[in-house]
Structure 1
Amino acid sequence: MLNRFLFTKIDNSPLLIFRIFFGLLIAAECYGAIVTGWVKRTLIEPKFTFNFIGFEWLQPLPGNGMYFYFFAMGTLGIFVALGYKYRFSIISFTLLWTGAYLMQKTAYNNHYYLLVLISGMMVFLPANKNYALDAKFKPSIKTNGMYSYVKWVIVLQLLIVYTYASVAKLYGDWLDFSMIKVLMTPKTDYYLIGGLLQQPCLHKVIAVTGILFDLLIVPALLWKPTRKFAFVCSIFFHLFNSFVFLIGIFPYLSLAFTVFFFEPETIRRIFFKKKKPYTTNKVMVPAYKNPLLIIFGLYFVLQLALPVRHYFFTDDVLWTEEGHRLSWRMMLRSRYGKIQFNIVNKTDGTSQIVKLDDYLTKKQKRKIGAYPDYIWQFAQHLKKEYAQKGEEISVYALNSVVSINNKPYRPFIDGKVDLAAEEWNHFEHHEWILPSKIDEP
């Protein structure tokens, strides 16, 4: 049964067209990051970046180096779309994109993480076996078929993403529609639809639709009787998100994934009319079956475990942020924080308040007071800077308060704790984060 499910040979048209879509989208993402000024604002202008903790050694290239970095990634995307030196191109892109992802989180977006995962998957998939320059230059690799597990690893990844996104929305501020109001209030000046987006009845529709779409879209696309309707819903849903929330390529990448839900023959007729139909449908168990099952088994166990890790931490993830990232908790909160950093010289006891303008960009200042890992990292940065001058310091967070989803500000960080002396643990609660009172009036 398992062999038939995973190792039946099917037409590879969905994988081929997805490779083309994927390559073009990642090229647009990387070139667009240069053109829109994202690279400049996020990786060139900052004096230092807030890396993912543990990856501080990954730093942006000096000067204008990150422009070349992103241009190289965009060009690799074009190579992927063309199927040119595919394995080298997709491996190189995966490494470079993962590096760019880990070296900053001020502009964190869930689709950046999804690109890490999908490009990593694409490294192992035979996406250059037809309609690719690799197959043209080396006809011996050309084939019209692929193993069915190629489809199912993509489908399972999407099921995890959407299901966790749906479940995460089952909390108070989403269910009472107040979070939708928070999301829509900044959209009042949108041409034509700005006023419509402020209507409470629309907020209810968006909230309910968000939960149901995320929960049902993958099963609905898999079931043939509902597939076309689900596809139409998917187009509307993702285009709405694209135009209203301006979230880059993610909506279009989500639409590109739908090619794996239609019959391979349907995809062939639409995109590759001259390609020979693949009708063999034989079960052919590869020699690498066991390593494949082990690798993908461990991968998906990790994917299932990461989004639930916050349940094992003290307090609410909405307050502490511990376990929020890598968990498909999308558009669930808006955070604003206020904070002062007080440096105390351990030798003579003198103290001073840090001028954040001397260290941070405007966007970094908007983040620094609202997220505990940013606060801790900045304290460590100050500690390192002063150590280089031969001074040993303590760093305290004064007057630290946070507002979540436009609720009243609440005390956030214990001002009596020397943050410079604290260690960071990815899998434990940090006691210097004060207990949440986000549900109090």
Structure 2
Amino acid sequence: MFQKILIANRGEIALRVLRACKELGIQTVVVHSTADSDAMHVRLADESVCIGPPPSRESYLNIHQIVAACEITGADAVHPGYGFLSENAKFADILAAHNITFIGPSGDHIRIMGDKIEAKRTAKRLGIPVVPGSDGAINEDKEAKRVAAEIGYPVIIKASAGGGGRGMKVAHTEADLEVALQTAKSEAGAAFGDDAVYIEKYLQKPRHIEVQVFGDGAGRGVHFGERDCSLQRRHQKVWEEANSPALNAEERSRIGDICARAIADLGYSGAGTIEFLYENGEFYFIEMNTRLQVEHPVTEAITGIDLVHEQIRVASGGGLSVRQEDIKFNGHAIECRINAEDPRTFTPSPGTITHFHTPGGLGIRVDSGVYSGYKIPPYYDSLIGKLIVHGRNRVECMMRLRRALDEFVVDGIKTTLPLFRDLVGNPDIANGDYDIHWLEKYLAKGE
């Protein structure tokens, strides 16, 4: 087991990893920018190192400063959390060159899954169902028209190197295609420094289903069930739940087993999430995230397994602690991402939190690094906390969520709490009857 882990992140995920390390008896080091000097994870860590000014590129994305912090403090491993350097193959390679363990997959696996075109090819080779589309990058209008005609309109053009909705354009007819292709390439080049794009069939009313997987790097793989992340705004997840209200036990087992076998065949090490669009009983691979997900607590709630403990165990060479037959699913869990944003316009709302009170009681978990008097800086992601609720079934979970949202108090800034109080009372949400377009349509109506 590791002696000392450096946590290369901030906010609630840094605190989440720190807690896991403490439970395992591992010393912790956190890095921080000058803007985060008073952050909770900095206060609670065994050691902290300031690595630069507020801009991420000069602090949390500064690989050389983070490696130097490892060497200064004697950290023998780095946990990257999510975001920042968590899916940076170069970072994983540099750590390996300095004999520091990256708590995550190999640089090669990060590279494969970071390239959306190569990821799709790999998924297809491993037996994972994929969305019909181009086999590689599309560069010319003529080629785009040929592929689109083969798979049928509407189609979606996606950036190979990207995510988060950037470099994505939908073409409903051939007349739309040329403009959509050029716009997507331009956006991809500006956002990711790579204008490569590919084409896929655009599904009309899909759900976003993702499968949590783990590999030991030596040919074993397991899955921890699926999460439904269909409630999204601009391709950003807002509400996640497990298990999905859209799947039955047979579908759940089928896609989980496919993913577990694929991870084993790939020789993958650590946590990963294989993401699908799901429509009319069929799953279509869209990407794989080679890291811990923001929404991992809902999986922990229904399985009772600490996924960060499992990450650390696998990275230290201890292998997986469970077999597939050991993993049982208990009840239902929902996570709401609480952001420092206006609940209607989604404009960021940095500032000082004057009063912070979290809900409690059976089945309630709040992952947050903020507190009363904490000043939210304007430089980073607006996520300030996650409310995770667990119940014996979805009905109990929804009732518990309604109660927890009523208890949650954040004063001094605007948050998305009012949005969730609206959603929990909506009949479509109560019935689990929604797709990836539902939330944006709901918001557009101003309900």
Q: Would you say same fold, with TM above 0.5?
A: no
| TM-score, structure 1 as length reference | 0.28
Q: Which structure features the higher share of helix residues?
A: 1
| TM-score, structure 2 as length reference | 0.28
Higher relative contact order, chain-length normalized (CA < 8 Å, sep 6+) = 1
Q: Which structure features the higher share of strand residues?
A: 2
